[in-house]
Amino acid sequence: MRKFAGIIIGLLFVTVSMAQEQIDFRVDVPSSWKLEEYSEEDRMWAYESADGNHRLTVSVLYYSNEPTHAQQGMFLDDFIKTRQEQSAVIDKETTFSKTKLDEYETAWVARFTEVSPSGRYATNKAISSRIGIANFYLESLSSGEDHENVSKKVLSTTGFAS
């Protein structure tokens, strides 16, 4: 089985879907995927596809004090910058898309993709709400088109308590 050169920040198809609700986040992963790693202490969950080509890592970072809505956006911006810096340190040739930032009444959502020359594709979706930041990082060792299809399907089902 292929191993991922995945990056997990310390802080933080055609199949039937299976809902995964852990603490305050939600995601629907295909039923053939398995929970490969779990750490309640680190607040991190990792799911992997049956063929080993896709891996979704979810991490949750809780705020110690409830921030204002504007602060949620600022914290998310800082989180994304740190996340991208970490990826760039591991593979200096990784390229990033422009970050798409959406503001909602109770949360902020940021999305970006990254591609490395080694053929690793990743899409990152982070949600900042009044309780913290949930980070959904889906990486693939398949074609860009396959990654895009899987990431759209899986990441469109994510949610985080607000």
Residues 6+ apart with CB under 8 A from 109: 101, 102, 125, 126, 127, 128
| 78 within 8 A of 61, measured Cβ to Cβ | no
- DSSP designation for 117: T
Can you give the pTM of this predicted structure?
0.82
* DSSP single-letter state for residue 64: S
Q: Going from the N-terminus, what domains does the chain have, and what CATH number goes with each?
A: 26-160 (3.40.1000.10)
Angle ∠(98,104,106) on CA atoms, nearest 5: 130
Tell me which residue has tokens 């504007």.
Answer: 70
- Phi, psi torsion values for 45, nearest 5 degrees: -130, 140
Report d(CA 73, CA 102) in Å as an integer: 9
Q: What is the pLDDT of residues 56-112, one digit of tens each?
A: 999 999 999 999 999 999 999 999 999 999 888 888 899 999 999 999 999 999 999
- pLDDT tens for 120-145 read 899 999 999 999 999 999 999 888 88
